[in-house]
Amino acid sequence: MIKHCTVLKNYHRDTPCLVADFTQMYQVFLNLIVNASYAMRKSETKTLAVSVHRDTDARSVIITVADTGCGIAPEHLDRIFEPFFTTHASDCGTGLGLAVVKEIIESHGGTVQVQSRPGKGTTFTICLPVDTEPEGGMQ
């Protein structure tokens, strides 16, 4: 993990509750935050920004997790959600984290997108519907 990281939180009060599996959502955010931490370990400015708000039609919740880390090379962006694909050293992960993130979000009827600029950071945007249950019901 990294030291001296600024965490910015922007949680809108009018955000509706979601029907979601808590353990799975915990895994999603743990994976995104661990990846952000890894990406920022050599950055001069270390900022993690998390935002949660309702979308304009009020049928979805939009969650963004952004970091000021090293970013993802353009040639890797199309592959980051593939199981076992990793840009980390062999002793730093399995390449399953983002594949798991995508699988969980999609099982909840949502989407996950990524924007990244090498040397500038990465932003993951998750869109989850307000009125659906995850596949297989709640656990």
Residue partners of 109: CB distance under 8 A and separation at least 6: 128, 129, 132, 134
Task: Select from 73, 76, 89, 101 the least CA-distant residue to 38.
Answer: 89
Q: How far apart are CA 111 and CA 59, in angstroms?
A: 14
- Show pLDDT as tens, one digit a residue, over the chain (139 residues): 677 899 999 999 888 888 899 999 999 999 999 999 989 988 999 999 999 999 877 689 999 999 999 999 999 999 999 888 877 665 566 778 899 999 999 999 999 999 999 999 999 999 999 875 666 555 4
Q: pTM above 0.75?
A: yes
Question: How is the chain split into domains, by residue range?
Answer: 6-12+19-129
Q: What is the sign, positive or negative, of the torsion defined by CA atoms of 4, 36, 115, 87?
A: positive
Superfamily of domain 6-12+19-129: Histidine kinase-like ATPase, C-terminal domain (3.30.565.10)
Instruction: Compute the radius of gyration of the chain from its Cα atoms.
Output: 15
Neighbour tally for 24: CB within 10 Å? 17
Hey, what long-range contacts does 98-103 have (CB within 8 A, 24 or more apart)? 98/31, 98/35, 100/27, 100/28, 100/31, 101/27, 101/28, 101/31, 101/32
**pLDDT at position 25:** 96
Report the pLDDT value the prediction gives residue 16, as an integer from 0 to 100.
Answer: 85
Q: First-to-last CA distance in the chain?
A: 30
Query: Do the Cβ atoms of 12 and 53 come closer than 8 Å?
Result: yes
CA distances (Å), 61 to each of 51, 77, 100, 107, 111, in order? 10, 24, 20, 15, 11
